[in-house]
Amino acid sequence: MFKQDDERIGSLFSALKVVRLLRLGRVARKLDNYLEYGAATLLLLLCAYVLVAHWMACIWYTIGEHEVKLRMMDPFIPDGWLLRLSNDLKSPFNFTASSRTRIVGGPDKSSCYISALYFTMSCMSTVGFGNIASNTTYEKLFGVGMMIISALLYAAIFGHMTTIIQQMTSATVRYHEMITNVREFIKLQEVPRELAERVMDYVVSF
């Protein structure tokens, strides 16, 4: 009993350490010294997107692990995503000999995490579900919540990214518009060729 409590407390503290990643604001101020504001903001937005996907993947794995325990105690409930993954990989779960609440076996942690991250990224990017999908009640409830959060996050991040990219390219657009206007003016006013070349050289080097 105490061992399980210690493991839960240890897992809680390990999860809380991830909150340190929220210090992205400090990183943003430091990146301003080395990168342009737009490039630094784009990088931070991508990091925030991956961070949320990581958190969602951890929650998705926790739900899957809970569903495995429920399924092994009640064979009549639907299989969760993690149990189906274990069947596909031929790595079945089992209860320990001393407890009916702890499970052993199953796919390795890296396979579980990659599969969970694949699901959350597919959902968050609005691509849709692949070979991993919600099947139980808890998984469907989480899927609905993640879709709502993902829609807001997707709109906020990628809408902001569009604005930043436009701002980063606005100077280039204005430059090409100026060149086009000068060429049209030269053509309209029938400026002599020698003078036109001097004007264009001046505009390009300005």
CB–CB of 146/123 below 8 Å?
Answer: yes
Residue 29 lies in a domain: yes
Mean pLDDT of 73-77: 77
Residue 185 lies in a domain: no
Per-residue pLDDT, 107: 83
- pLDDT surpasses 60 at 28: no
Task: Give tens-digit pLDDT for 180-202.
Answer: 888 888 888 888 888 888 888 88
The C-alpha atoms of residue 163 and residue 141 are separated, in whole angstroms, by 33
What pTM value is reported for the model? 0.65
Residue 54 lies in a domain: yes
- Domain holding 95, by residue range, is 2-169
Mean pLDDT of 42-61: 87
Residue 204 lies in a domain: no
Per-residue pLDDT, 59: 92
Residue 31 lies in a domain: yes
CA-CA distances (angstroms) from residue 95 to 69, 72, 77, 104, 118?
8, 8, 17, 6, 27
Residue 176 lies in a domain: no
Residue 59 lies in a domain: yes
- pLDDT surpasses 80 at 161: no
Task: Give tens-digit pLDDT for 121-158.
Answer: 888 887 766 677 788 888 889 989 988 988 888 888 87
Residue 134 makes CB contacts below 8 A (sequence gap 6+) with 81, 140, 142, 143
The residue ranking higher by pLDDT, 113 or 205, is 113
Residue 206 lies in a domain: no
- pLDDT surpasses 80 at 48: yes
Q: How many independent structural domains does the chain possess?
A: 1
Mean pLDDT of 74-85: 81
Query: What average pLDDT does the structure give for the chain?
Result: 76
